[in-house]
Amino acid sequence: MMDNYNKYDLIPRQLRNLNIIPLHPNSKQPAVKWKEYQEKKYENIDFLKQWQGNFAVICGQTSNNLVVVDIDSKELYEKFKDIETFTIKTAKKGYHLYFFSKVYPERKIRVGGLAVDVLGGASYCVIPPSAVDNIPYEVIKDVPILEVEDVLRLVYESLGIKQEEETKPAETKKEKEKQKGEEVKPKEEEKQKEERKLRELSDGEILEIKELLKEAYREGNRQSLWMYLSGWGAKAGIKAESIAKILKMLYDEKDDGDIRQRASAIIHSYSKSNLRVDLQKLSKVLNVDLHLHIPEGGGGKVRGKSGLLEILEETYSEERALEIIRRLEEIFNTSSPVQGAVFEILNYAKQTFAVANFKRQTIGVAQRVANTEKGEIPKIVYKEEVINAVPTHVEVIISPIDQIPSLRRYSYQRQDPSQSLWDQFRLMRCAIC
């Protein structure tokens, strides 16, 4: 039997300090849940040094804006072979050219309809000394990784294609027929985007939200916070520029990463919600010239409030996290339930609420309190538990005119059958009001 050896030491020196993750032996499949390492570096080096499987490098911000140009044919590689940058020959006899790009692109497949992919965000690449189907990945240009201004522009220039005149693969007869029947659809989608009016937050609201979120804007979850706040803002009908102002202030207070990568979260969230993003206005707010691939709108789930709550609960107590969400609901004019708790106002003057807490499996009374003389931020304090039960279904009916929830219907799961749930809930409301 062969003695074990340290495969990690065989990783090319150009890649050793980048974001490396383990893959299963003889495979391209990750041995860890790799998506979280798009935002933070995989740091279990001791495990990597003992690993006898394959390895991959994650592209993007966690690897110094690494971009890999993936070329699947020798003929196309001839157009790039004079570029002096670190290059690998893949198990499928393709080519991986490595770059650090100041202008960071999203993942782009089949540039110009050709067998050339630009692997930016949400990508990883198998690296030596890995092998797939027992065929090794090999370094064919052992030189430093080239730093360029705009790798996507370099690819177009090397292929001899103008970016605005990109050719498409030949369409099949069926595709042409389908396109003919749906040629008006893009115009309809654009019209829908224009018809929905978005609300601009006031300067006071923007500053308040920034203060509410600043302690939660920590290394490791900043990109997620951009994504979740943008997702909620899009769903609530808030202008993208207002969300960008909040996030830009948070960004400026920290020694943060590439703001173009951060900005992609706003563009993605609003596009997925079928909302138009004015790149010129967004660039002005963020004080950067954005050259981003804008994701197509429609389809796909955009997380917002629930994701933001998860981040807040990592920073604050459960009560404080729920209070921040409640205040954001008021500012955004949304009162739909969130994962974790459902609030119902009982007495506006006394600032008392009925709170169905899914984690505690209870419904209780809470009050918003603060010492205004000391300048304290209001917080939710639980006063008493009233019902040992929680809602199992909440239905919110949204008005098609003002987009405000107008009716809630609840069904409950009750743990204590000794008294009807409705009687307990009614008694609670009467006692408080």
Neighbours of 363 (CB within 10 A): 25
Q: Tell me which of 120-124, 201-205, 248-252, 423-427 is least confident.
A: 423-427
Q: Tell me which of 40-54, 100-114, 160-174, 350-364 is least confident.
A: 160-174
> ∠ CA 402-403-408 to the nearest 5 degrees?
115
> ∠ CA 247-252-258 to the nearest 5 degrees?
80
Q: Tell me which of 30-34, 137-141, 236-240, 369-373 is least confident.
A: 369-373
pLDDT at residue 258 tops 80: no
Q: Which residues contact 26 (CB under 8 A, 6 or more apart)?
A: 53, 54, 131, 132, 133, 134
Digit-coded pLDDT (tens) for 353-378 = 777 766 566 777 777 666 555 555 55
Q: How far is CA 77 from CA 89, 139, 184, in A?
A: 11, 15, 39
Q: Residue 413 — left, alpha, or beta (φ > 0 → left; ψ -120 to 50 → alpha)?
A: beta
Q: In terms of C-beta density within 10 A (0-12 exposed, 13-18 middle, 19 or more buried), how is residue 305 classed? A: buried
Q: Which residue ranges form the domains of the chain, and what is each CATH number?
A: 7-165 (3.30.2250), 190-334 (no CATH), 340-432 (no CATH)
Tell me the range of 21-35, 341-355, 411-425 where mean pLDDT is highest.
21-35
